Amino acid sequence: MNDHNTAHPDAMPVALLLYSPAKGTNNETDPLGALPREDLVTSYERQWYRFEFEGKNYALRPTHAAHSPFNYLWPDASEPDGELAHRLGGGIIIGAWHPEGVTSTTAQRRVQWNMLLELVEETGLPSLVMTALQSGSQWVEPVVFVTGLSRGAAEEIAQELGQRAVVELDRARVHPLILDGTQSLGYAWSLHALAGAPCALSLGCELTFSPKRVGGPYVSRSREVASLWSSHRKLTHELLGCDPCQNGASVATVSGKNIPGAPIALSEVLPATRYTYSRHVREGDEPPVKLEWPDYS
């Protein structure tokens, strides 16, 4: 097994989050520069997954280096067995948040997620809740893997929820199915049994140290960044367990509380997505710049 814990918190490779671009007379705003460095099809091809099954933590990641940066920081791959092997033998992964690419609020995300769970339950098929993470952990999103679900049934659910793609998984490959017909090559996947629940803001399997807060109580931009960072951290801890934070390596807890001293947002913070960056909701603001589907015609 790889030595996946860093020797010191300063050496921890962390996710570089997607903050809304700086504004001000002394800054040249570059909205496009604040977007994910990948198109939407690539985002589905490179995303990876974490989940718990029978009390154990797992990561499901692409095997090829082009799709799986920092793979050396994770434990060696292992073959699923028993009931988990059956569950991962074939099915479809479906998300629910941010229909039609429009970032959803907390209330909207809750509604969308409950709709997905209800639609999955109606299939009568076994399911497994996972969390999808961007290749560099810049955004997170809950998803459901439904064993044995057909492509047709999955696409109907996705369309009802305003999703642009679903992801087919079998014993050999993960294959994004783009609903507009755009072709995706997919990738081979590997399963990694984890010794615990790593911090989601680390790019590796960090089980000891919590990441340091980004930004600070200095100028308006640093306070804004600190607020966006804290909001993303809270969201990841609501979706995923985190042993470093739970076990006292920092003052935060897995309940998603902010680190004491972090700025408190006075307006709702919309999370980063595969479409766009995180931002505060402010009256009168224009919609954020977001990625569009590439034109292959």
d(CA 100, CA 86): 33
Residue 54 in this model has a pLDDT that exceeds 70: yes
Query: Could you tell me where the DSSP H helices lie in 126-197?
Result: 151-160
pLDDT in tens, 173-188: 999 999 988 878 888 9
First-to-last C-alpha distance (Å) of the chain: 45
Q: What is the mean pLDDT of residues 158-186?
A: 90
Which residues contact residue 144 at a Cβ distance below 8 angstroms, ignoring those fewer than 6 apart? 93, 94, 116, 117, 120, 127, 128, 129, 130
Whether pLDDT at 36 is above 90: no
**What per-residue confidence (pLDDT) applies to 10?**
58
Of 94-98, 205-209, 222-226, 245-249, the poorest mean pLDDT is in: 245-249
Distance CA 187, CA 61 (A): 10
Grade residue 264 by pLDDT with cuts at 50, 70 and 90: low
